[in-house]
Amino acid sequence: MGRSPCCEKAHTNKGAWTKEEDDRLIAYIRAHGEGCWRSLPKAAGLLRCGKSCRLRWINYLRPDLKRGNFTEDEDELIIKLHSLLGNKWSLIAARLPGRTDNEIKNYWNTHIRRKLLNRGVDPLTHKQLNESTARHVANTICCNGVNYEDNKEDSNYDIKNPNEFINKDDDDEMKKIPDLNLDLRISPPTEPIMSSSMDKSKSKNNGNGYDFLGLKSGFLDFRSLETK
């Protein structure tokens, strides 16, 4: 027997949100603040599950969201952060004010992956691709760039350690590629991130309001991230 559903699915709407639902959610959160997502739908008069309300608010309705195209600077920042953090979209989003993890994840999968491949860079490992590897990755369709079924036949692919997917026949080429320094340093935030959810998360942290490495709170200063 699995876990019980997060809400009573029989009486909840699914799919695209209507203007009226948006208005109700905005009005409720303006009046009562974020949080208590489970009870929010009922209190706000919405036939939605709490998860759905939370997602709608965070990804679409929040007033501090930055809509519109990503800038070149944001692109490069995302690439840099992804090389350090991997698919930790929420951590990456914490470093990009006004952007959501979902937005960044989508943008990565639709634009940046392709951009990196065009540059000859493996979007998974951030290492330079040689021609055969590039062909392999280009043929890999799944979102994370790893298709285990395909790769398990590849003698250079270590299924237990996909990040080590390199062409072993081309060691000289690999030596030219600098290793990334994955040591993260802590530095104070450049600006406070103010929201009720951040206030809530602060309570989980130490007295300074910063989590270890600044990862949880999103206060890790990008300027302190560097490669060797």
Who contacts 94 (Cβ-Cβ below 8 Å, separation ≥6)? 193, 217, 218, 219, 220
Task: Please tell me what DSSP assigns to residue 58.
Answer: I
Task: Please tell me what DSSP assigns to residue 110.
Answer: I
Residue 100 or 133 having the CB closest to DNA: 100
Residue 91 or 116 having the CB closest to DNA: 91
- Return d(Cα 174, Cα 77) in angstroms, integer: 24
Q: How far is CA 19 from CA 33, 56, 66, 197, in A?
A: 20, 12, 20, 24
Residue 51 or 180 having the CB closest to DNA: 51
- Return d(Cα 227, Cα 179) in angstroms, integer: 7
* Beta pairing partners, 128: 121
Beta carbon of residue 25, minimum distance to DNA (angstroms, whole number) = 10
Which positions lie near DNA, rule CB under 7 A?
2-4, 6, 9, 13-17, 35-39, 48, 50-52, 54-56, 59-60, 87-91, 101-103, 105-107, 109-111, 142-144, 197, 200, 204
Beta carbon of residue 180, minimum distance to DNA (angstroms, whole number) = 18
Residue 169 or 206 having the CB closest to DNA: 206
Residue 89 or 210 having the CB closest to DNA: 89
Helix (H, G, I), strand (E, B) or coil at 121: strand
Beta carbon of residue 173, minimum distance to DNA (angstroms, whole number) = 27
Beta carbon of residue 196, minimum distance to DNA (angstroms, whole number) = 10
Beta carbon of residue 91, minimum distance to DNA (angstroms, whole number) = 6
- Return d(Cα 87, Cα 44) in angstroms, integer: 34
Q: How far is CA 228 from CA 92, 147, 182, in A?
A: 21, 30, 9
Residue 30 or 141 having the CB closest to DNA: 141
Q: Is 172 exposed, middle or buried (0-12, 13-18, 19+ CB in 10 A)?
A: exposed
Residue 177 or 212 having the CB closest to DNA: 212
Beta carbon of residue 217, minimum distance to DNA (angstroms, whole number) = 10
Beta carbon of residue 175, minimum distance to DNA (angstroms, whole number) = 29
Cα dihedral across residues 164, 166, 170, 174: positive or negative: negative
